[in-house]
Structure 1
Amino acid sequence: MTGFQHVLVVDNGERAPESALSAELAGMGYASVTAPFEATDEVLALMPNPVAVVLQLPRHADWAERRRFLDLASRLRKSLSPANVPVIVTGGLSGAATMLQNELGVRPVSAPEC
């Protein structure tokens, strides 16, 4: 792995270049892994110590899809709360990076792995 802290981005698998968070997160000093909704648990099992999980709702999601993401957010918040890992739900690129900065506060954005 790299010396960067990792953020897991979960989406519905449909990725448009203009809504990718990876470039924004890299600019903030984070390495990101983007995974489809269905692979969330498997990716988290392989990802040691993420600093945050961002659930990126599809722009044109219907109520059922929004409910799936909100249910996942609730479950992840419960399971990741002992490690103080924030779970952020966003509707797209705009505002996601700011929300992440607000959640992580003054934590360093990159540090060598020990």
Structure 2
Amino acid sequence: MNGMQKVLVVDNGEREPDSALSAELAGMGYASVTTSYEAADDVLAVIPNPTAVVLQMSQHADWSERRRFLELAHRLRRTLSPSGVPVLIAGGTSGALTMLQNELGSQAVAGPDL
């Protein structure tokens, strides 16, 4: 892949056009890879060092789905925290972008150095 920093977005596989983070992340200077919950581990094997992982839960998720995302977040935080990769849980696009900006600071707004 190119030299852009990569953000992994994990969702439930049901993507609405107005809830996609890819365009917003590109505007912040990040490449993004969106995958379903079920494929998250396989994608992390290909992208072992993402800049961040955003777990984008549906705002209408039932308790079972919320629990799956919380368990995944706990596991990913345990495995990715030694390398400083933040794992964020968001319920919508704007919330995810705000959390990502707060977590990564001015780096998220400025984009990668050229």
Normalising by structure 2, we get a TM-score of 0.93
Give distance in 2, aligned partners of 1:42 and 1:96. 22
Shift of 1:111: 4.4
Residue 66 of structure 1: SS of its match in structure 2?
helix
Give distance in 1, aligned partners of 2:113 and 2:4. 6
Specify the alignment match of 1:88 in structure 2.
88
Normalising by structure 1, we get a TM-score of 0.93
- In the alignment, structure 1 segments of 5+ residues that lack a partner are none
Residue 94 of structure 2: SS of its match in structure 1?
coil
Give distance in 2, aligned partners of 1:73 and 1:101. 19
Higher helix share: 2
**1:11 and 2:11 aligned:** yes
Shift of 1:64: 0.6
Specify the alignment match of 2:103 in structure 1.
103
* Pairing of 1:1-114 with structure 2 (within 5 A): 1-107=1-107, 109-111=111-113
Question: More relative contact order in 1 or in 2 (CA 8 Å, sep 6+)?
Answer: 1
Overall identity of the aligned pairs, in %: 69
Shift of 1:48: 3.6
Residue 15 of structure 1: SS of its match in structure 2?
coil
